[in-house]
Amino acid sequence: MKIVMVEWIDAACETHGQLSLEAVEALTPLSRRNVGYLVREDKDKIVLSFGDIADKDHQCSAYDVSLVIPRGTIKSIKELK
């Protein structure tokens, strides 16, 4: 399974309480990078997993912590060697 770094744009949410109109208008989306196993990709999304869990025969039996990233938010996908 490929290990990739995905650069993408994520929504931002301000949770510090009350803000002035100027501060709210200055909010911007977040630029993110995530590295993980590329479990699935299709025209709508990619799915990364940040680890796998092997059984006694060293076969992957489960994935640990996964992230679905919508295609429309992805800036780049780079395979890591």
What are the tens digits of pLDDT across the range 3-39? 999 999 999 988 888 889 999 999 999 999 999 999 9
5 forms beta bridges with 35, 78
Q: Say what the pLDDT of residue 79 is.
A: 98
Alpha-carbon 60 to chain mean position: 21
Say how many domains are in the chain.
Answer: 1
CB atoms within 10 A of CB 77: 16
Which residues constitute the domain of residue 45? Answer: 3-80
What are the tens digits of pLDDT across the range 26-81? 999 999 999 999 999 999 999 999 988 887 777 777 888 999 999 999 999 999 98
